Amino acid sequence: MAWRFQKPVSTVLINCAARIPSDGGTLRRMLLLAQSYMHDLSPFAIRVGDGFGIRWYGLAYLAGFVGGWLVLRWMARTGRGLLRPEQVGDFMTWMVIGVLVGGRLGYVLFYSIDLLWTFSGSFPFWGVLEIHKGGMASHGGILGVMAACIFYGLRHRITPWHLVDCVAFCAPIGLGLGRLANFVNGELWGRPLSPERQAAAPWWAVKYPDEMLDPEFQNGANVDSLATMVSNPNGEWGRQTLRDAVYAGRSDVSEAIAPYLTAYYPSQLFQACTDGLLLFALLAIVWWKPRKPGIIGGWFMIGYGVMRIASEQFRAQYLTNWGVSSIWPAAGLSAVMIAIGLGMIWWCLRRQGDKVGGLLSPHAIADIPGA
């Protein structure tokens, strides 16, 4: 005999959760997760005062740079690259500069050019420098790193294409961690689920309390009627206090506002898998044995471009400062990256030069015919 549910499983579990008292603990929270996830993650790992502290966004970048440094140092120590161990630290310094400068300028020029003339009375005073608020473009970061590789290679007489390969191989570590940080920050939302799926959103969908703060929020009247559930120390109440209560861990507030919020695709997590795990696996397979300098960089450009175009279909779209949908700058730049990657591979295969790198041990590489 086959069991058939007359209602979606998520709806059944939510109804079960409603019968459990609010102090029901873990069981109630697990059942509520069957519907969708209410984003309640703090952007701060350690918070000191109002708006100051150590943010997960910064820690993600730090972890990405440390991970890249460890990989490059391992390659240098084991003879899998042209960098010497004592050069890795200096090289990574230039890579950090390339990522930060290129990533920030790319975000400003492609997505938020108004930051060029945005100033404030508090540090760092200029909108372009407010990196702590988020806003980095991966395409710009990639261009910045390539420029840094060319500069460093010419300065130290190391073929820049090999340096591009080294950075390309390490890049998925930072890209994946960066997307996880985007999710923690509650930024770069995904595309809304279809209307028919909103009533019983699946467990992997995400709802953001910040949606209430949008002046065009459609369920504003319903949410406003719940605002008296909580007030701030000054006795004031409203949507902002509801939002703050969610991030303070008030599960009763989360449950009350959840039916009025939109469920979105967790596009940041999708991209953490594609830009991080899948891209790293692809490059590891290609670089399993030595390749001519530039081949790995070309495969990175192709792989990232294809995965970015695919994952962009799940991201929320908005009008950029140029008056076009945000999908077009991302898709257009990704298409250019794919074309550049194909050109790099074609050119590198035709040019003369020794093969470099490879993840196998030097002894194993020597046993591979034609390696």
pLDDT, tens digit (0-9, with 9 covering 90-100), for 179-238 = 999 999 998 899 999 988 888 888 999 999 999 988 888 888 888 888 777 766 555 568
- Residue 223 inside a domain? The answer is yes
Note whether 162 and 240 are same-domain residues: no
Contact 295, 286 (CB under 8 A): yes
Q: Considering only CA atoms, which of 250, 213, 258 is closest in space to residue 231?
A: 250
291 shares its domain with 145: yes
Q: What is the pLDDT of residues 28-43, one digit of tens each?
A: 454 444 578 999 998 8
Taking every pair of Cα atoms in the chain, the longest distance, rounded to a whole number of angstroms, is: 76
More confident residue, 113 or 20: 113
The model's pTM: 0.79
Q: Domain tally for the chain?
A: 2
Amino acid at 113: I
What's the gap between Cα 320 and its chain centre?
Answer: 19
Q: Is 84 left (phi over 0), alpha (psi -120 to 50) or beta?
A: beta
pLDDT at 275: 93
Q: Are residues 286 and 157 part of one domain?
A: yes
pLDDT at 208: 95
Q: For residue 11, what pLDDT is reported?
A: 42
Q: Are residues 256 and 305 in the same domain?
A: no
Which range (26-35, 108-117, 180-189, 325-334) has the least confidence? Answer: 26-35
Q: Could you write out the DSSP letters of every residue in 41-64? A: --SEEEE-SSS-EEEHHHHHHHHH
Look at residue 323 and tell me whether its pLDDT is greater than 80: no
What is the DSSP-derived secondary structure letter of residue 263? P
User: CA-to-CA distance for 350 and 292, rounded, in angstroms?
Assistant: 10
Evaluate whether 266 touches 204 at the Cβ level (below 8 Å).
yes
Residue 322 has pLDDT above 60, yes or no: no
So what's the pLDDT on residue 132?
A: 64
Residue 181, in any domain of the structure? yes
What integer pLDDT is reported at residue 320 of this predicted model? 55
Tell me, yes or no, whether 62 lies in a domain.
yes
Spatial distance between the Cα atoms of 60 and 70, rounded to a whole number of angstroms? 15
Confidence tier at 129 by pLDDT (50, 70, 90): confident
Residue 244 contacts by C-beta under 8 Å, 6 or more apart in sequence? 230, 232
Residues 6 or more apart whose CB falls under 8 angstroms from that of 347 comprise: 294
**Listed residue (294, 367, 322) closest to 146, CA to CA:** 294
Q: How far apart are CA 54 and CA 47, in angstroms?
A: 6
Would you say residue 152 has pLDDT above 90? yes
Tell me the residue range of the domain where 321 lies. 55-187+266-366
Which tens digits make up the pLDDT trace of 253-288?
899 999 999 999 999 999 999 999 999 999 999 999
Residues 248 and 292 reside in one and the same domain: no
Confidence of residue 111 (pLDDT cuts 50, 70, 90): confident
- Whether residue 178 lies inside any domain: the answer is yes
Of 208, 197, 327, give the one whose Cα is nearest residue 257. 208
For residue 87, is pLDDT > 70? yes
Residues 289 and 242 in one domain: no
Contacts of 325 (CB under 8 A, 6+ apart): 317, 318, 319
Judge whether 189 and 208 are in contact, CB under 8 Å: yes
Identify whether the C-beta of residue 76 lies closer than 8 Å to the C-beta of residue 85. yes
Has residue 5 been placed in a domain?
A: no
Quick one: 338 and 230 in the same domain? no
Q: Residue 143: which of 188, 180, 110 has the closest Cα?
A: 110
Say whether pLDDT at 293 is over 80.
yes
Over 90: is that where the pLDDT of 169 sits? yes
